[in-house]
């Protein structure tokens, strides 16, 4: 197991569109184990491979209180979506920034599991929001791109200032 470095906005690599996984093999399972370890250590409730600079369509999510329910989605596709909600989002690639984003309340997703088998699941609430946030990452979209240009500009300035302080 290994902790992987997380890319920080506005790193241009966060805007890479991830490629589908063709075969779920041991290399993919090792990557998922490392992604899960990185997510738990951060700590976060989700992580897309894009955030660790691996541009493959892989997501790890665990919204449980005790971090006991890892959910892995390989090549996830949103089949249907309905309802609207607005919830406060944060992102491990945009540390310290929390903003309200409009999302669908419910999504039906099809993906592959760690055995390479297709499954479908319906998610709502936090899990649905997290899935949409992570699938955005695979498309090269960071949640701040759902905000106004002014808010995005302020966030970029704040992160640049933080980077100068920590450097
Ligand atoms: O840890 C995370 N929390 C979170 C809260 C609300 C909506 C989405 C998220 S995902 C985020 C981890 C992350 O950056 N995933 O890409
Ligand atoms: Ni994120």
User: Is 129 touching ligand 1 by the criterion CB < 6 Å?
Assistant: yes
| Annotation marks residue 88 as catalytic | no
Name which residue sits closest to atom 11 of ligand 1, judged by CA: 91
Ligand nearest to C-alpha 143: 2
User: Is 62 touching ligand 1 by the criterion CB < 6 Å?
Assistant: no
User: Is 137 touching ligand 1 by the criterion CB < 6 Å?
Assistant: yes
Secondary structure of the chain in HEC code, one letter for each residue: CCCCCCCCCCCHHHHCCCECCCCCCHHHHHHHHHHHHHHHHCCCCEEEHHHHCCCECEEEECCCCCCCCCEEEEEEEEEEEEEEEEEEECCCCCCCCCEEEEEEEEEEEEEECCCCCEEEEEEECHHHHHHHHHHHHHCCCCHHHHCCHHHHHHHHHHHHHHHHHHC
pLDDT in tens, 145-164: 999 999 999 999 999 998 88
pLDDT in tens, 115-140: 999 999 999 999 999 999 999 999 99
Report pTM: 0.97
């Amino acid at each position: 197991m290994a902790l992987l470095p997380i890319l920080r906005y506005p790193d241009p690599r966060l805007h890479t569109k991830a490629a589908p996984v063709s075969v779920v093999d041991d290399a993919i399972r090792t990557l998922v184990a490392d992604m899960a370890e990185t997510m738990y250590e951060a700590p976060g409730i989700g992580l897309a491979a894009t955030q660790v600079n691996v541009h493959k369509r892989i997501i790890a999510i665990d919204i449980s209180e005790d971090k006991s329910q890892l959910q892995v989605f390989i090549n996830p596709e949103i089949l249907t979506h309905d309802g609207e909600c607005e919830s406060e989002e944060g992102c491990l690639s945009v540390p310290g920034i929390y903003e309200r984003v409009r999302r669908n309340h419910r999504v039906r997703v099809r993906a592959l599991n760690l055995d390479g088998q297709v499954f479908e699941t319906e998610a709502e609430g936090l899990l649905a929001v997290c899935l949409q946030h992570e699938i955005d990452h695979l498309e090269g979209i960071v949640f701040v791109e759902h905000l106004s240009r002014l808010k995005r500009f302020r966030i970029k300035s704040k992160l640049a200032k933080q980077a100068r302080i920590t450097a």
